Structure formats: C-alpha cells, structure tokens
Chains A and B, each alone.
Chain A
Amino acid sequence: MSIPPSVTAAAAPPPAPAGTLRASRRPSSLRGTLITIGVLSVIDAIAVFGLFMLFLQESWIPFGVVLAVTVIVNWIYLRPGWLPAKYLTPGLLFLAVFQIFVVVYSGYIAFTNYGDGRNGTKDDAIETILLTAQQRVPDSPAYRLTVLDQFGEYFFLVTDPEGEVLLGSADQPLAPVSGFGTDSTGRADSLPGFTTLTFGDLLGNQAAITELAVPLSDDPNDGALRTPDGSNAYLYLSTLSYDAATDTFTDTTGTVFRDGGDGAFVSDAGRELIPGWTITVGFDNFVTAFTTDNIRGPLISVTIWTFAFAILSVATTFALGLFLAIVFNKPTMRGKKVYRLIMILPYAFPGFLSGLVWLGLFNQDFGYINQVLFGGASIPWLTDPWLAKFSVLFVNLWLGFPYMFLICTGALQSIPEELTEAATVDGAKPWAVFRLIKFPLLLVSVAPLLISSFAFNFNNFNIIYMLTGGGPRDVTAGVDAGATDILITLVYKVAFGEGTGRDYGLASAFAILIFFIVATVSIISFRQTKVLEELN
C-alpha cells in the first residue's frame, strides 16, 4: 500500500493553497483507490450477507458485533489519514477472532456447567423433553394418512387397518366421514371441500404438520394421532405435560418435575429429566477440581510428576542437543552436513506418529527393543510405573533433542571466535572457556527458548497419550490417574473421556488453573534470565 500524502501533510503541512490541500487528502494513486474500493466492497458484500442471515436468525448480539466491525472497518479505510490503523486493523481483527475470543470464551465456559446432558438452552431442553415424551401406544395400528387443507387449517384423513375412513384436526377429534375418494391401494386421498396436500406442500409446511396432534376421541387420555412422515399416522400418548405458568413437568403418575436450579428438571425424589441445559455456576467447577475425590486424590502426585517430566525433558534434551552442537561445531569435522541432516530427522516426524512407533518398539514381548537389543528379555517398559516414566522421558528426549541441537548450533555460531582466542591466550583451558564464557553467553539467547520448551512439555499431551495413555494405572487406587499422567492428560480423562461423561466446564476450569501454573513459572523464569542478560 502506498503512503497517502496526508500523513506527511499532517506532520508538516506544506504551504499550499486551499484547493491543492483538498487534493492532497485523497489517496495518492488511482490504482490505490480502486484496490481499496474493490477489497472493501468484497468485505462489505460478505458482511451484508452475514448480517442478512443473522437478522433472519434473530441472533442480535452477533448481528450488532458484525455491524459495528463493518462500520469501523469502512470508516478506517475510507477516511484519509490514520495510516497505522489501516495497517493494524486486519491483524487486530484476526487477534480478536482467533485469540481473544477463544480465551474469553473458554474462560466463560469455566463458569458454566456445559457438558454432557447440559448442552443447550432451557427452551431447547423443554422442546426435546416434550418431543421424547411422545410415546407410540404399544401395538397401536398404523393409519394410512392423507393430509388435507381447508382454509389454512390442516386435517388428517386416515384410513384405519379395517378400512374405515376418519377425519379430524387439532381441535376436532377423529370422526367417520363419507364421500371421500380413494387411490388404487384403497387409501382415502381426497374429500370434497378440502384440498389434498402434495408431497411438496407437506414439505413446505412440515413443522406444522409434524407438530399436529389429532385427538382420537374427546378424552385426551386416549392419545392423539401424529405423523412422522406425512403418509402414516400413529397413535401417541404423551407421558409428560409441561405447564408454562409454573414451569413444571408432570408425568402420568402425577410426579412433578421442577427446575432444580442445577440446569435440569428434577422431581422431589431426585429423578432428573434429560436433557438439561447450560447455566452459569460461578466458581463451582473450581471448587469441584479440588474437592472431588477422583481428582483431588491424584492431583498432588500428578502435579509433581508433571513438573518432573517438564524439567527433566528440557534438561535432557538441552544437554544432549548442546553436546552434539558443540561436537558438530568443530570446523575441522568432516561430513557435518550429513550428520546434521540425520540429527534433524526425529524433529521432522509428527510427534504422535513417533509415539505410536515407539509404542510398538517398546512392546514387552514383540518389540524391537526387548527382542533385539535385550536378547528377548521381557522388560515391561510401558507397564511398570517407573520404567514407563523412564520410557516417556526417553522418547521425549529422542523427539526433542534435534530442536535443542538446532538452537544451540545457531547460538554457538553467533558467539565470536575472538572471545575463545582471547581466553586461550590468557591461559584458560577449553573446559574453563566453555564454562565461564561460551555457556553463559549461550544461555542469554537460549534461556527464553528453554522456558517456552518447559511450557510446551508441561502440556505435552501427544507423547503421553500416544505412548502410555497415562498408564499404567494402579487399579486398586480407585482413581483414573496412571503413573505417567500429567496434568493435561488427567484433565482430558476427567473432563472428556473416562470419568462420568464429558464436562467442558470443568475442563475449562482446569485449563485456566494450568495456565496460571505455567504463567507463574514462566514469569519467574523470565525475571531470572534478565540477570543473564547483564553479562552482555
């Protein structure tokens, strides 16, 4: 994008007559203007389409947001000047959509009971409960059906299995009629004074037709005919009725289900109707995280292992990476490129794939490691708690050292050779040179990456999940956590898979807790690394 002259004009207004000043407020080139208009019109067209659909769906909050953003974007780009805003806007928009919204939304979820059985709004829940409460009367016959229309009111013209033809509507119970026309199969399909609906008509009004209940008789307990497909009707009885005034459900035995304040209708005896709905629960999820036996029990040991895993992963990969970087940094070494290429290979494989490959290699009876390297020994690499911990660290070392090797190579090459030479001239031994000069200088540039590597390993879900699945589990302990579970896999188990059903609210609360742990560690570490920078 070319720089509009208005920016320079604002900085130092050129002495010019009023007419030329007006001209200078326009973008510099015709091409620029056309591109601006072209891009803006595409964006606006998309926005208008979106607004149109949101309006029809009556989603007012997204509508307002889209409208405001569209207006602001147009205003920024059509207005002369404000160059930084023009550059920053796309980035800020993406930041808002992909980062801020996601973070704020999961923060919001942490304060709700969103999860299995608490999945939608209360209105949806009521509608679904009513829908499933419609039970077909056992062994009731199938009525062959034609839907008729008279002045906008729908009628069911049904042929019962005995061949009797009946007519009824929502307000008018079924009654025998005569004078109907029949089709080739003997089904009544027309009646004078009524319009027979075609399949297209049925589809066009399907919501009304599938909701239509035609009472069998004046007694509502006899049930009503409903049609799921427009060509057959069945006798249904409702097992639950909803009273909007008191907001309660009552079943056929007279049990009343009230809104229990927990996002579900419950009876006094504690029976819950499914589904429930999402409500805001405040800090309940955070309280649950520390009070549920299944979670609190293993929380301490899992937290310790998480720190151990993250710290040891960083330490071992860094040590090996640095060692190899120093070795391969020798200018006199031959074939360096080939070696370096081979070094990088583990880094090129996707982590979860490597996890699966190592899972096979570690197999107690059939794996390459036991069969070939240990001569057929039956070493339980992944099923003994301590060996499993070791195996996880070992595989993570294999996966992680190339990264450390890369950054150490880069950092080493940026340290001037003159320092080494000067130290050697002063009589320093190579180990002293490394320990006192090269290593501290190296840490200055590498320390932030070590911290981020720690944060990454703290949440290194892939390797744990693919290799051991958190196991081996001590089944006598009665908790879901296994020996190699780290916090993030524990969260996954508790909140998504193997606990008592999915609980997104609890999972988000955990994610926030983990975020605070990682953030605290990172902040302290970054403070410490400032000390290193003073070396420069």
Chain B
Amino acid sequence: MKVTSRSLMMTGAMAAATAIVLAGCSAAEPEAPQFEGSLTVWVDADRAGVLEDIATQFEEERGVTVELVTKEFCAIRDDFITQAPTGNGPDIIVGAHDWLGKLVQNGVVAPLELGDKAAEFQEVAVTAMSYEGQNYGLPYSVENIAMLRNVDLVSEVPATFDDLIAAGEASGAEYPFLVGLDPNAADPYHLYPLQASFGAPVFEITADGTYDPTALALGNEGGEAFAVKLAEWGAAGILNTNISGDIAREEFVAGKSPFFLTGPWNLPAIQEAGINYSIDPIPSAGGETASPFVGVQGFFISARSENTLAANEFLVNYIGTEAVQTALYEVGGRAPALLTAFEAAKSNADVAAFGEVGAEGNPMPNVPAMDVVWSDWGSTEVAIINGQGDPVELWRAMVASIQSKIDG
C-alpha cells in the first residue's frame, strides 16, 4: 500500500477528528510538521543484513524508519519497472549498473546528485552509474574478471594470450586454458576481454568514457579478426562450449588446467581446494589491452518516491560511508566502490589484484539496447567456436541482425 506523507497526514487528521468527536475533547495543540513516513528499500538477502544496522542508525539519528524488503536480486529490476509506475514500488532499490538504461528508459529512477562526493568513489563506478551525462546511482561495489593461474603448473606470467596457450600446453595439464561457456549462448561476458584486445568494444567509447549507443563498434575490423581467432581456438579445442562455468571451476580446482578466466566469485572454491593460485592481468590476444567488463552494483532512488530527501540523505550520507561500504564488501566479497574503503580492502591481496585488472576495464554497457546484443552475440560465438560456418560471415550477419533490432 502506498503510504505517502500526505495520505498519512490526512489519515492522522481524520483519525484526530474522529477522536475529538468520540471523546468530545478539545483540539490538540498544533505541532510542527513531523515526518511520519518511512523509506522502503528492496535489497537482496546478502545485503539486507548489513543494511539493517545502518537502517537502525538512520532511524535513531534522522527519525525516519527504513523498511527493508528482501527480494531475489535478479527479480528486483523487473518487479521495480512494473511496480514503480503504480506508486506501489519502493523508494530505493539495490541493483547493477547495467540495469540503468532500462530503468531510465522506463522512467522509474530519479537522478542522484553525488555532489563533491563523486570524487570519493572509483571513477569507473561513477561512470557506470551515469546515463546520458546524468548520475543515477550510489555505487557500492565493483567487480570484474581476471586470469587465475595455478602457480604449481605455470610459474611465469605469460605476456600474450598465445604465450599463455603455449605455456598451458607445455605444462602437460589436460586443458591449456579454461573459461566457462554455454552450449547455447557461449559467454560474451567472459570472452569480452579477448575481443577488446582486438580493439572491438560493443559500442564506440566516447571521450568521457561512456558508450555511444548509436554507434555499434562490434563489426569493425577488430571484431572480424576476433571472430577468425574464435574459430581457430574452437578448432584447436582451446574453447569448448560444452565446458560450463561449473565444469570449468571443477576442472581448475582439480588441477587440470593452469589458467582459468573468471571472477572473484569462484575464489572460495579454489581456496578451499588449496590451489596455489595467482591473479594476473588478462593477456592480450590481439595486441591491445584486454580490458574486461567492470560490473558495478549500487543503489537507485525511485522516480516515484515521495521521500526523495530522506532517500538522498540515506544513500549519500549513510550508505556512502566507509563503514557501510566496508561492511558490504565483507558480505559480498566485491571490491568497495568508495576509494577509502577500497584502499582498506586492498590489504586483501585478492581484492587488490582483481582491482588492478579492473582498473584497465570498461563498465559493461548500460544502454537498453544491450538486451538485444547479448543474445545474438552469444549464439554467434557458439556457432563460430563450433565451426558452423565462415567466422567472418557469421560475425557480419550478427552485426547486421543486432543493428536491425536496434533500429527497430
């Protein structure tokens, strides 16, 4: 039920009137307008625990109740888009930066002014949270993939991807290199750094580091060179679409490969298995920097929120503090977006190493057209890796298909 300050005041007024009529007493003294509403925040279960403490503190200091509603992380975006326009949505949601385009397209998020505080966050995080020059979210974590190396199998950091494969083959392990793919959709996210090293981002990157959603860059020469390489790697068995993320992790944990291209989420299993690992930059396959996608998570304010002031205060001055960012990092294992918290978290060598790789990365595009891109991109990579046609022709067909869908 939508509880607005106005409706609450009216409720209060009507209740007071009823009470007066019933009790026959005189009217209460007029009081200064006191805020009686609350902030509703949609969070996932992992984040909820941390926010509970800060919510209590906010309530004590600011007199505004924060109501935490726990939801499945992946359901938050769609539920929010459906519910916000009805006025029944929350004031704040937790989310990922690549949702932003869709949220803005649907008009459900309000711009958020970080003010001078913007400089206190990692630059990539703030860039990721902005769309068409306007900032919309308060970032709390950044994450990206990097190359994990089994030090017992290969002791040197390879300079290029070809060196990596050569080293992998020389190590005598079952697989020279592992990355989790899918038989139907490959994994453009994990393969992106290799693609980027050929100079083929998804969209053209403008001077301020954001994407130009009208200029598809996938189809440039670099993209086609990457497609040829994909076919080569597929034929050589270096990439195998039957190795899913789970299988890749299992095989790496079993010591069957010296290299594993993955993110921090697989570290716990690897540490548990006692693998002697090192986190390295992703070697370039095409000559340029192999920059991974950087995913940023943060909080957004609803455009339909009636409590924007309280919501702003809660995000910028409470969630944007070092203590909270550090606490969020501790439950999620993702590097904090706030610089001071990030510096502190860097005492963990893994965070520092992933962060170093991520510094080379670009935010995953947050334009709404990405929904269209992922699907065609993945299916085409599968076809190329499995040798179902000429790689360059398949790649061109994909670019044409994506372009026609974007043009509508």
| Residue ranges of A at the interface with B (Cβ–Cβ < 8 Å) | 52-53, 56-57, 116-117, 119-121, 124-125, 127-129, 131-132, 134-136, 142, 198-207, 209-210, 228-232, 234, 274-275, 294, 363-366, 382-383, 468-469, 471-473, 475-476, 478, 480, 482, 493, 497-501
Asked if residues B398 and A475 are in contact (CB atoms below 8 Å), the reply is yes
B341 at the interface (CB under 8 A from A): no
Which residues of chain B have C-beta atoms less than 8 A from A274's C-beta?
A: 104-105, 107
21 contacts between A and B (CB under 8 A): A52-B11, A56-B10, A119-B85, A127-B303, A135-B134, A142-B115, A142-B116, A199-B62, A203-B64, A206-B307, A228-B308, A228-B309, A275-B104, A275-B105, A294-B405, A363-B242, A383-B183, A383-B184, A475-B383, A476-B383, A480-B375
B106 at the interface (CB under 8 A from A): yes
The reply on B243 being an interface residue by CB < 8 A is yes
Choice from B5, B64, B112, B309 contacting A230 with Cβ under 8 Å: B309
How distant is A395 from chain B, measured CB to nearest CB, in Å?
15
A486 to nearest B CB, angstroms? Answer: 16
Closest-CB distance, A109 to chain B (whole angstroms): 12
B32 adjacent to A200 (CB under 8 Å): yes
Residues B379 and A473 in contact, CB atoms below 8 Å apart: yes
Q: How far is the CB of A205 from chain B (nearest CB, A)?
A: 6
With contacts A131-B303, A500-B405 taken as known, whether A205 is within 8 angstroms of B33 at the C-beta atoms is: yes
Contacts of B134 in A (CB 8 A): 132, 135
A476 engages B33 (CB within 8 Å): no
Taking a contact as CB atoms under 8 Å apart, the answer to whether A135 and B133 are in contact is yes
- A116 and B106 within 8 A (CB): yes
Name B102's contact: one of A116, A129, A204, A498 (CB within 8 Å): A116
CB proximity of B124 to chain A, nearest CB, Å: 19
Q: Contact check: which of B107, B185, B244, B401 meets A478 at CB < 8 Å?
A: B401
Given B10, B85, B380, B397, which contacts A121 in the complex, CB threshold below 8 Å?
B85
Judge whether B7 is part of the interface by a CB distance below 8 angstroms: yes
Per-residue interface assignment for chain B, residues 183 to 217, with 1 indicating a CB less than 8 Å from any chain A CB and 0 otherwise: 11100000000000000000000000000000000
Contact of A203 with B35 at beta-carbon distance under 8 Å, contacts A275-B107, A365-B240 already known: yes
Instruction: Report A55 CB to chain B, min CB distance, Å.
Output: 9
Q: Counting CB contacts under 8 A, is B386 at the interface? A: yes
Interface presence of B59 (CB below 8 A): no
5 tightest A-B CB contacts, nearest first:
A275-B107, A120-B85, A203-B35, A204-B33, A206-B309
Residue of A nearest to B390 (CB): A476
B332 within 8 A of A: no
Q: Quick one: which of A383, A475, A478 has the most chain B CB within 10 A?
A: A475
Q: CA–CA, A234 to B107, complex, Å?
A: 23
Which single member of A121, A132, A201, A364 contacts B104 (CB below 8 Å)? Answer: A132
Total A-B residue contacts, Cβ distance less than 8 Å: 183
Q: Which of B63-99 contact A (CB under 8 A)?
A: 63-64, 81-82, 85, 87
Using A128-B303, A204-B35, A274-B107 as known contacts, say yes or no to A56 and B310 having CB atoms under 8 A apart: no
| A136-B185 contact in complex given A119-B106, A365-B240, A473-B379, C-beta closer than 8 Å | no
Q: Is the CB of A497 within 8 A of B375?
A: yes
CB of A472 within 8 A of CB of B33, answer: no
Cα separation A366 to B256 with both chains bound (whole Å): 14
Given A201-B32, A228-B312, A365-B242, A475–B110 Cβ distance below 8 Å? no
Q: How far is the CB of A259 from chain B (nearest CB, A)?
A: 16
Contacts of A275 in B (CB 8 A): 104-107
CB distance A500 to B107 under 8 Å?
Answer: no
Bound CA–CA A471/B401 (angstroms):
17
Scoring B residues 385 to 408 as 1 if CB is less than 8 Å from chain A, else 0, what string do you get?
Answer: 010110001100110110001101
B2 contacts across to A, CB distance below 8 A: 57
B104 to chain A, nearest CB (A): 7
**When the two chains form their complex, are residues B184 and A206 in contact, meaning their CB atoms are under 8 A apart?**
no
Beta-carbon nearest neighbor of A232 in chain B? B115
Closest to B250 in A: A366
Could you say which residues of chain B place their CB within 8 Å of the CB of A202? 309
Q: Chain B: how many interface residues by the 8 Å CB criterion? A: 76
Contacts of B105 in A (CB 8 A): 116-117, 274-275, 501
Is B25 an interface position by the 8 A CB rule?
A: no
Of the candidates B33, B37, B107, B397, which one forms a contact with A128 in the assembled complex, judged by CB atoms under 8 Å apart?
Answer: B107
- Contact A124 B304, CB 8 Å, known A204-B34, A478-B401: yes
**Quick check: B110 and A131 within 8 Å, CB to CB?**
yes
Q: Is the CB of B313 within 8 A of A500?
A: no
Query: What are the interface flags for B363-376 relative to A under an 8 Å C-beta threshold, 1 for contact and 0 otherwise?
Result: 00000100110111
B306 CB–A CB distance under 8 Å: yes
- Chain A residues in 8 Å Cβ range of B374: 498
A365 to B175, CA, bound (A): 13
Task: Specify which chain B residues have a CB less than 8 angstroms from the CB of A131 in the assembled complex.
Answer: 110-111, 303
Bits for B225-250, please: 1 = Cβ < 8 Å to A, else 0.
Answer: 00000000000000011111001000
B23 interfacial by beta-carbon distance below 8 Å = no
Q: Provided the pairs A119-B108, A120-B107 are in contact, do residues A53 and B7 lie with their beta carbons within 8 angstroms?
A: yes
Complex Cα spacing A465 to B139, Å:
33
* A56-B10, A207-B306, A472-B183 known, 11 other contacts, Cβ within 8 Å: A117-B368, A119-B85, A120-B85, A124-B85, A131-B111, A203-B64, A364-B242, A382-B183, A475-B379, A493-B375, A498-B374
Chain B residues positioned under 8 Å from A128 (CB to CB): 107, 303
- A342 to B3 alpha-carbon distance, docked (Å): 53
Chain B residues within 8 Å of A134, by CB: 111
Nearest B residue (CB) for A202: B309
Residues of chain B lying within 8 A (CB to CB) of residue A468: 184
Using CB atoms, name the residue of chain B closest to A273.
Answer: B107
Residues on the A chain within 8 Å of B393, using CB = 476
* A383→B388 CA distance, assembly (Å): 11
Q: Which single residue of chain B is at the shortest CB-CB distance from A278?
A: B85
B123 within 8 A of A: no
CA distance in complex: A505, B298 (Å): 31
Please measure, in the bound complex, the distance between the C-alpha atom of A103 and the C-alpha atom of B244, giving whole angstroms: 40
Q: How close is B315's CB to chain A, nearest CB, in angstroms?
A: 9
Say whether B316 faces chain A, with CB atoms less than 8 Å apart. yes
Let me know if B33 and A500 touch, CB within 8 A.
no
Shortest C-beta distance, B46 to chain A (Å), equals 23
Q: A314: shortest Cβ distance to chain B, in Å?
A: 27
CB closest residue in chain B, given A119 = B106
A294's closest neighbor in chain B, by CB?
A: B405
| Chain A contacts for B405, CB-based, 8 A | 294, 499-500
B317 at the interface (CB under 8 A from A): yes
Out of B1, B133, B303, B368, which one reaches A116, CB within 8 Å? B368
B113 at the interface (CB under 8 A from A): yes
Cβ contact within 8 Å between A472 and B184:
yes
Which residue in B133, B303, B394 is a CB contact (below 8 Å) of A476? Answer: B394
Smallest distance from the beta carbon of B360 to chain A beta carbons, Å?
27
On whether the beta carbons of B394 and A475 are closer than 8 Å, the reply is yes
Are A203 and B375 within 8 A (Cβ)? Answer: no
B59 to chain A: closest CB distance in Å? Answer: 12
Question: Are the CB atoms of B35 and A229 closer together than 8 Å?
Answer: no
Q: How long is the Cα–Cα vector from A136 to B118 in the complex, in angstroms?
A: 13
Contact present for B34 and A498 (CB under 8 Å): no
Residue of B nearest to A118 (CB): B106
Q: Is the CB of A364 within 8 A of B183?
A: yes
Q: Which residues of B contact A475 (CB under 8 A)?
A: 376, 379-380, 382-383, 388-389, 394, 397-398
